[in-house]
Every structure is written in C-alpha cells, then in structure tokens.
Amino acid sequence: MIKTMLVAVDGSDQSLKAAALAGELAGKCESRLVVLHVLLHRDLANLRRMAEVEHLASPQDFQLGVPPAIAQDVAASMREIAENTLPYDILNKIGKSIAASAEQAAREAGAQDISTLIKDGDPVEEILTAARSESADLILLGSRGIGPIGSMIMGSVSNKVSQSAPCSCVTVK
C-alpha cells in the first residue's frame, strides 16, 4: 500500500504532469502527498523574467548599488555578480509559486492530504533526503528529456534519483 508519495517539481510541463498524476494516485489510494521544490539556481535569465511577470520582483530588486569611487574592475565584477545571481528571497518566492501550482494541479486531480516542502541544495540529494524523512513509498518526477547522449555525459535528476531512491520512482514525460 502506498501511504506517502513525494512529487518533485521544478515548474516544467513534465513536473506539473507528474504533480497531476501524483494527485490522481494519491486521491485513489488515499495517500499523503508531499510536493517538493528545490530552489532553482540555474537559468537565471528565465527566472528573472518569471519573477517580473508573476510580480514576485521588480527590476530594481536585482540591482546592486556600486559607489562611483569603486575601481572599474571591481564595479564590473559587482555587475557580473548581480547579473548572475538572484536574491534568496526572490528564489524562495519563485519556489513557493512553483510548489503552489503543483499543489493546485494535484488537488484538482484528486489529492486531499497535501503538504509542501521548499528546499535549497542539490536537487538529487534534497529529493532523496525528503523521500527518506517523509517515508515516501513512491517518488514521482518529471523527465526533462535531455536525450541519451546528454544523460550519459551529465546524468539527469530523474535518472540519479531512480538509481539511489529508497522506494519506487515514476518518471513522467
């Protein structure tokens, strides 16, 4: 019997499909569903646009003030840091928004008992840790579809999780 399911979501279409499937299964099995989002520290340009479009942040939130007296190379370094990082509170707002969308999809599909977790760290490690701490009987994840060559070179989160998970895994396309 499946008492607890964990669905890991990153905002992709595949992860929302995984959340809907998890919701359907959780509803039918009367299982507890845990929605997990691991904060995204990649693809910053798209995250910035998402934060602005969803009114989670304004362009001013991304600017670091650099006093004119600072040397040009230091100012350039500061600008590069500002352009390649997002403040933690904005990453957290984005994460909560992604988790809320997944929770809604799961609830609409039939899940009743849903909790959410927002974690920061390596996605594979955080998913495996959450699966163990929540005593998950099943993990559901979306497939990013990076292909066999990319998977061999860098591996995918779903592949790594399925290899090390303490329970069964379902990868949703």
pLDDT category at 1 given cuts 50, 70, 90 is confident
Residue type, 115: S
Instruction: Record the pTM.
Output: 0.74
- What are the tens digits of pLDDT across the range 50-100? 556 666 666 655 554 545 555 455 545 545 545 556 777 888 888 999 999
Cβ-count burial 106-141 (b if 16+ within 10 Å, e if not): bbebbbeebebbbbeeebbebbbebbeebebbbbbb
Give the bridge partners for 8, in sequence order.
36, 141
Note the pLDDT tens digit of each residue in 7-59: 999 988 899 999 999 999 999 999 999 999 998 765 555 556 655 666 666 66
Taking phi first (over 0 means left), then psi (-120 to 50 degrees means alpha), and beta for anything else, what does residue 23 get? alpha
Question: Selecting from 3.90.650.10, 3.40.50.620, 3.40.50.1220, 3.40.190.10, what CATH number does the domain 4-41+95-172 have?
Answer: 3.40.50.620
Give the pLDDT band (50/70/90) at residue 147: very low
Q: Rounded CA gap, 124 and 113, in Å?
A: 24
Order across the sheet with 32-38: list the strands: 113-119, 32-38, 4-8, 138-142, 168-172
Domain boundaries, given as residue ranges, for the chain: 4-41+95-172, 43-85
Q: DSSP letter string over 35-92?
A: EEEEPP-S-HHHHHHHHHHTTS--GGGG-----TTS-HHHHHHHHHHHHT---HHHHH
CA distance 57 to 8: 24
